Structure formats: structure tokens, C-alpha cells
Structure 1
Amino acid sequence: MTAALECHGLDAGYARSSPCVRGLDLAVERGEVVALIGPNGAGKTTLLTTLAGLLPRLGGTVVVGGTELGSGSTRAAVRAGLVLVPDDRSLFRRLTTVQNLRLATRRHGHTEAIEQVLEYFPALRNRLKVDAGQLSGGEQQMLAIGRALLQRPKVLLIDELSMGLAPVVVESILPVLREVAASDGTAIVLVEQHVRLALEVADRGIVLVHGEIRLEDSAAALASDVGRIERTYLGESVAAG
């Protein structure tokens, strides 16, 4: 069976002479949630922005649902079914919540799916007429993910979901991703600093250090032995996450 997302020999970064990500091989299956973790500067964001076509590849291939993507083409990535929720959320801050959602539905013709988004994130129901810039951080993240879901992604990439959010808010959002993966077969790659919370909803965990995969195992196995992650982080403790 063809994986939802495949990378082969992927080099990514800003200078061919010194890539941030080197020779990365990765496969994510339909309905699988992968937690991508690692210290700051490991190349996690660079990897996601390259997969999404925001940054041209320095080498290697990216395949989504059997379709090989051209380098540096966000249009090709979206057409193939790959959608990125960036760490800045990229909302239209002067548009209301419902206007942000309708922009996605008009483009993709799934107006009825707004109701599904509101079922996933009921906190948005009473905020539909509020400008996105006036939402709380958690509400903005819910809106950003909801807008991405309206595009019916085959692969959903989420960068730093918890940035600026309290752990209790993160705990309310992460189970939605598990549900989306199970119900829609969406493959999800999640970059998350709250390691424990990410591993609770993930199927698999990958530790990226200095642009290379240094550790990969089932989420359950990694969660049961945080020391492995600590050692892979080269001594930086992540137990508090």
C-alpha cells in the first residue's frame, strides 16, 4: 500500500553546502499520527516548510499519495493533499472566525464541513463573528487547524501546536487530531515541544537532532522510557514536557 507521505534522501535548508536536514527518509501511513520532536535548531520547522513547498528542496524526493511533488511548489503540495498549519497560524486577523473558515470552503467547495469543524472545536461556535486577531491563542490554533481540515488534507503538518498555549489548552486540542486521523484516514505529522502530551495521541515518535533522525519507535515505547529521549537530546532533559 502506498504511504500517504514519503521522503527519500531529503536534504533541506538554506544553503546547499550546509543543509539543516540531511538524507532524511520518512514514511507516514494513512491514519497515522507521528510526533516529530527534538531540541531547538534540530531542523523540524525546516523539514515541514520544505515538505509544504515553502522552501525549495536541496535534494531528495517528496511523494504524497503516490504523487511526486515538485520542489518549492506550495500549489503542487496543496493539490496533492498536503496542508501545513505553520507556527504563526497565518490567519487573516482582520477577518472574523467564520470568514476565515468560509475562505477555505469557497476554495474547496465543502461548506457543509464547517459544521464538522465546529463539532471538533465547539469553543469556536460563540466566536464566529469575532475577528481572528481578537481570539485567544487557543482559539486561534483551533481556527487554524479547522481551516486546514476544510481543505480535506491527505497529509496534515502542524508546526509547534502548543506555542504560547497553556498545557490544558493543548490537552483539549490534541485528541481532535487523533479523531481526525482515525475517522478520515488523514496522516498527521505533529511538531510539539510538550513531548508527553504529543506521545499520548501519536502512533509513532521520531526524534530529530542536527537534521537527522536519531531515534524512532512507537509512541508507547518512547513514553514508557523518557530516558531514551533525554539521551538522544544529548543530555537536554525533556521529562518536564
Structure 2
Amino acid sequence: MSMLTLKELNAGYREDSPVVRGIDLAVERGEIIALLGPNGAGKTTTLETLAGLYPRLGGDVEVDGVAVKSGDPRAAVRAGLVLVPDDRALFRGLSCEQNLRLAIRSSRRAPVREGLDQALEWFPALGKRMKVASGQVSGGEQQMLAIARALLQKPKVLLIDELSMGLAPVIVESILPVLRSVAQEQGTSMILVEQHVRLALEVADRAVVLVHGNVAIDCPAAELAGDLGRLESAYLGATA
């Protein structure tokens, strides 16, 4: 059984004008999907809809074989769908440690000290920043904090929107191995929206390319990494 299944998913902000149309997708346990596509293709809309921020316009979503209620963020989290949005959504007036403590307590899935230690194991760079307000740390540290906070909720499927937003590639390259490790060791499935295609394909198992709200390519990430001309053709609307 797949960890996440989308069946004929339609998503958008107006019922008469869906941004995403008829997506069928199965994500296996521990699989990382790079969700790629040009601006306006529907990538963020897909993640936000899966996270329950917007009701689905059609279709079904299942996590581990269980149907997920549409348009209900709490139901999505309970089902195991956790989103790291592109703005990271941190409580910027709270310290890094306080942000993590809130996630640990709300999930009730680990002792606080154990959770904090786990976050620092993933991202040692946060060690000296725990008492600093999250709004005062660097962009890279904020992204590490946002991902650690999401992972501490023990998601079945982690949704990450624009991991590299505002970050130097070297910072992104330090985060990607953590995601790969969590996927392999904990079986966490992931969907990663990322504009830096090469970085995304390095960590992903599979690439799914959206163009005008439709799936234009669905193939192994390594296969697409070896033929980026195919990606360019899809972006331009040619047959992929």
C-alpha cells in the first residue's frame, strides 16, 4: 500500500477554474518526490491543498490507505501530512527552542528533551541559537528550524515548499542529506517543491513535473537528471 495516494485530484481557488486537474499520484513509504514545474504550474497549490489549507475541488487523498478530509488542516496533520511553507511560518517572537517545544507538545509523540536532542542531531547549527528569537537567526537557520519542527510532529508525509527560498546553495546542500536520512531511516515520505532542479533531483527518488496543472513527466529522478532537455521541453509545452 502506498503511503500517499492522490486520485483525480483537482485543486485551486475557484471551483470553475481549477489550477490542478486530474492528478493521480502514489508516493511510497520513504520515497522522496521532486515536484517540479514552471511558475504557475500548480505546485504550491497542490501542497497547500494536501495540507488542508484549501478544500479540494475534486478527487480523493489517502494517507496509508485512510481517506483524508478535505479543507481541514487539523485533519491533514492528524493523518500525517505536515507542510513546511515557503515562508516557514515560524513564531518569530519566540526562541528557536520555544518553537520546537510547541511542536513537540502539540504532537505528544516524544518527550520534550528527547525531541530537542533529536532536532540538534539533525541540525547541529541550531545548538548555539536555541535561546535566540527565530526571527533573528539567519535564513538557513530558520529553514533548519522549520524542517526540524515539522519532523518532530512525526509526519507520514512531509511537504516542503521551496526549500531553497532565499538560501545559498551550500546551505541547501547541508539540509538535503538530513531529508534523505530521515526518509531512509524513518520511512517518512516527502514531496519537495524546488526551483533549483539539479539540487532537487540529487535527493529525490522520483520527479513529477507539472505543466499547466497537469502531470507532464513522472519518472525516476536520475533519469530526468540525465536528460534535462526533456524537462525544458516540458516547460515549453512540447511533448515530454
Shared fold per TM-score greater than 0.5 = yes
Q: Tell me the residue number matched to 1:83.
A: 82
Cα displacement (A) at 1:169 = 0.8
- Which sections of structure 2, spanning at least 5 residues, go unmatched? none
Q: Tell me the residue number matched to 1:125.
A: 127
8 A contact 2:81–2:158 mirrored in 1: yes
Distance 1:192 1:140 in 2: 17
Distance 1:108 1:51 in 2: 19
- 3-state SS, counterpart of residue 182 of structure 1: helix
Q: What amino acid sits opposite 1:102 in the alignment?
A: R
Q: Tell me the residue number matched to 1:99.
A: 98
Distance 1:48 1:196 in 2: 21
Q: Does 1:10 pair with 2:40?
A: no
Distance 1:27 1:187 in 2: 11
8 A contact 2:211–2:237 mirrored in 1: no
Q: Deviations over 1:194-236 (max 9, x none)?
A: 1001101100001111101001110110001111101111079
- Among 213, 216, 221, the alignment partner of 2:215 is 213
Q: CA RMSD in A?
A: 1.1
Cα displacement (A) at 1:105 = 1.1
TM-score (norm 2): 0.96
Distance 2:66 2:229 in 1: 38
Distance 2:75 2:105 in 1: 19
- Which sections of structure 1, spanning at least 5 residues, go unmatched? 237-241
- 3-state SS, counterpart of residue 93 of structure 1: coil
Q: Tell me the residue number matched to 1:190.
A: 192
Distance 1:155 1:65 in 2: 10
Q: What amino acid sits opposite 1:148 in the alignment?
A: A
Task: List structure 1 runs of 4+ shifted beyond 3 angstroms.
Answer: none
Q: What amino acid sits opposite 1:95 in the alignment?
A: L
- Among 176, 179, 184, the alignment partner of 2:178 is 176
Distance 2:88 2:195 in 1: 16
Distance 1:212 1:205 in 2: 14
Q: Does 1:42 pair with 2:44?
A: no
Distance 2:237 2:122 in 1: 38
Q: Deviations over 1:175-197 (max 9, x none)?
A: 11101100100000000011001
Q: What amino acid sits opposite 2:47 in the alignment?
A: L
8 A contact 2:208–2:215 mirrored in 1: yes
Q: Tell me the residue number matched to 1:60.
A: 59
Distance 2:192 2:86 in 1: 11
Q: What amino acid sits opposite 2:184 in the alignment?
A: A
Distance 1:114 1:149 in 2: 11
Q: What amino acid sits opposite 2:64 in the alignment?
A: G
Distance 1:92 1:38 in 2: 30
Q: Tell me the residue number matched to 1:32.
A: 31
Q: What amino acid sits opposite 2:190 in the alignment?
A: I
- Among 114, 117, 139, the alignment partner of 2:116 is 114
CA gap of 1:95–1:168, structure 2 versus 1, over 3 A, is: same
Cα displacement (A) at 1:108 = 2.0
Matched positions, count: 235
- 3-state SS, counterpart of residue 236 of structure 2: coil
Distance 2:177 2:35 in 1: 17
